Amino acid sequence: MTVTLDTNILYQALYSRSGASYAILQLIRTGAIELALSVPVFEEYRQVLLRPRTQKETGRSRQEMETVLDFLALVGVVTPIHYLWRPNLPDAGDDMFVELAVASGSEYLITRNTRHYRTGGLDLGIRIVTPPAFLGQWRDSHG
């Protein structure tokens, strides 16, 4: 199963080891699920994780963040985006995540901000869910 992660999931996973976001990152680490990745999404991850504010809030050093980014680059399934289709979401910065989810065939786009991904009734073939909702569905289908 392939998933696309909004940046806020990575931030939360690095902020706390007790939540659903961290559990999702562990599923990626063990290979139970695959992470879809594109150059624009990876650059977004990089920009957010390397901010001094993010490092301070998560209690992680720049080197630790670089290690996380190296891990994501290693395990992520790189998906080129060959079109400039834009879903025109309320926050244009979120369009790249929908583009990646569609191009990679992700079953899920996991985000803490599902309201940001309202597509005006357009069926994109992906489920846009919160981390707890994803874990519940994953556990139901994988025991």
In terms of phi and psi (left: phi > 0; alpha: psi -120 to 50; beta: otherwise), the region of 62 is: alpha
Q: Which CATH superfamily is domain 2-142 in?
A: 5'-nuclease (3.40.50.1010)
Tell me how far apart the 2 most distant CA atoms of the chain are, in Å. Answer: 42
CA nearest to 54, candidates 42, 64, 41: 64
Q: How much is the pLDDT for 92?
A: 56
CA nearest to 26, candidates 42, 48, 41, 9: 9
Return the CA Rg of the chain: 14
Average pLDDT over residues 47-70: 97
For 11-36, how does the pLDDT look when each residue is reduced to its tens digit (9 = 90+)?
999 999 999 999 999 999 999 999 99
Q: How much is the pLDDT for 89?
A: 55
Whole-prediction pTM value?
Answer: 0.89
- Asked whether residue 52 carries a pLDDT value surpassing 70, the answer given is yes
pLDDT band at 82 (very low <50, low <70, confident <90, very high): confident
Q: Decide the pairing of beta strands 77-78 and 34-37.
A: parallel
Give percent of the chain with pLDDT exceeding 70.
Answer: 86
Domain residues of the chain, as ranges?
A: 2-142
Q: How much is the pLDDT for 142?
A: 87
Q: How far apart are CA 72 and CA 69, in angstroms?
A: 5
Task: Please count the other Cβ atoms lying within 10 Å of the Cβ belonging to residue 24.
Answer: 26
